[in-house]
Every structure is written in C-alpha cells, then in structure tokens.
Amino acid sequence: MRQTQLHLTDEDRSLVDEIRSKGLHQAREVNRAHALSSLDRGVPEAQIMAVLGMGRTAVWRTRAAYLQGGLELAVFDVARPGRPRQYDTDDEARVTALACSAPPAGRQRWTMVELERAARQAPGMANVSRETVRRMLKKTISSPGAS
C-alpha cells in the first residue's frame, strides 16, 4: 500500500520535537507528535503502528489533520462544547436566596423537599429536581469554616 508523503516545516518539526521531549502533555498528544515525526522521516505506517501502539485509523487521521489544518489540529484535541447548562446563574441565585430566606411556617429550617417544591414555583424551573437544588446550593453556599 502506497503511503502519502508528509513533510513537516522546520518550525513544525521543532515544535513536534519539543512536545516529544519536554513539558507536560497528554499521552495522546505525545503519541500523535511521535507519529508525525515518524511520518516526516518516512517510517512505514506498519512500523509506526507497531511501535506506538496506534491503530491505522489514528495514524491516518493524524496525517490528514496535519495536511488539512496544520500542527495544532493534528496534535492537540479540539475543545468540545459539552452539554449546555439547563439552569443559569440567575436560577441558582434564586434558589440560594430562597434557602437563605425564612423557612415555611411551622419549620425551623428549610428541608431539601421543601426547597424543591418552592423552587418549582419559579418560572422556568418547573422540572427542577431535588438533586439539582442540592448541587446548586453546594456550589454557592460556603463551608462553615470559611470566612
């Protein structure tokens, strides 16, 4: 099988060597840098896969990413957006203010069940769960020893 030639620029070659030799980098990044360096030197894919423990697809994707978008795209992971937040900081502030307010009549303090019921009355929070309310409060209320 014929291998697509890959030639790193002098600047990219020095950056790849830096990633391979010093600094803190994720193992995937170092592996990709090793693969690019090997491809640049003309090492066959089969040997790269055997030595680095990479699959053929990983070698292909690393080469294609370098040819398409350069060193940044080939070596480093692209940031992933993650799941969007269901409740924003205003909702968290509303729940925190509720927890800091006077408890319901006949109670000395708020319980999680009562906080959940009260939070569900707020607009846009009809489906808030007890666990979500607990996590909101855990993030916003400081610990007893903190000043």
What is the predicted pLDDT for the residue at 2? 63
pLDDT band at 145 (very low <50, low <70, confident <90, very high): very low
Question: Above 50 in pLDDT, residue 126?
Answer: yes
Residue at token pair 């855990």: 138
Q: How far is 16 from 11, CA to CA, in rounded Å?
A: 9
Question: Above 60 in pLDDT, residue 143?
Answer: no
State the CB neighbour count (10 A cutoff) for residue 66: 23
Residue at token pair 């927890």: 99
64-119 pLDDT tens trace: 999 999 989 999 988 888 888 899 999 999 999 999 999 989 999 999 999 999 99
> Mean pLDDT in the chain?
88
pLDDT band at 141 (very low <50, low <70, confident <90, very high): low
Q: How far is 28 from 78, CA to CA, in rounded Å?
A: 12
What is the predicted pLDDT for the residue at 63? 93
142: its two tokens: 């400081």
In DSSP notation, 60-129 reads HHHHHHHHHH-HHHHHSPPPP--PPPSS-HHHHHHHHHHHHSPPPTT-SS--HHHHHHHHHTSTT-TT--
Q: How far is 52 from 33, CA to CA, in rounded Å?
A: 11
Question: Above 50 in pLDDT, residue 147?
Answer: no
Q: Which residue has the higher pLDDT, 68 or 143?
A: 68
